[in-house]
Amino acid sequence: MNYATNSESTSNNDSNQVHEFESYISQDFDVITLTYEHFIPLQSTAGMFISKVVGYQNQQYINNAVLTKIDGATPTVVEDSALNIENDIYTVAVFADWYINNAWSVGATYYRADVNTDFRSSNIDYSDKSSHSDNITETGVNTRYFWHFSDVFSAKFSLEHYFDNGEYYSDSETNIGIAINARF
């Protein structure tokens, strides 16, 4: 189980003979993931490696600003705005790699994310509040080969194909990777 958090905030105050300006911006996120990994040895091939990941992420962005006109007898608020965006993201991923031998594997992946967004904004003249949900599904297949051809050098070859199946879009991509590693 993993937990990560990050919080950043800034504030700004500025004034001149006509206006005073104050702003506050905050960005926070919390991430919790639970990972399960298991290798199943097989008699005819090296085995099957299965990994499952479940996660939750909360992202929050706040931006508040006030602009006040001060050149008259009574200060007047010219602009008073607030923006709050919050995302709750739930993820599930499953990775399975079948190791034909210790160097070559063939695998499949499944990833799903459900994103729930709450949006609130306000101003002197209006207020708006909305919610939106979206889901993203990705599936993929891959093959990898690791070749240890000397005591110092090794090579890794990979071929991956992914399918993105979102609620509003669909896409796919193919990646080819070649790497040479040296160990001294």
Q: For residue 144, is pLDDT > 90?
A: yes
Q: Could you state, in order of their start, the residue ranges of all structural domains in the chain?
A: 2-141
From the CB of residue 99, how many other CB atoms can be counted at a distance below 10 Å? 19
Q: How far is CA 124 from CA 69, 74, 128, in A?
A: 14, 18, 12
Residues above pLDDT 70, as percent of the chain: 97
| Per-residue confidence band for 69, with pLDDT thresholds at 50, 70 and 90 | confident
Looking at the predicted structure, is the pLDDT value of residue 136 above 70? Answer: yes
Band the pLDDT of 54: cuts 50, 70, 90: very high
Q: Which residues of 7-26 are buried (b: 16+ CB within 10 A; e: fewer)?
A: eeeeeeeeeeeeebeeeeee
| pLDDT for 9 beyond 90 | yes
User: Do the Cβ atoms of 99 and 48 come closer than 8 Å?
Assistant: yes
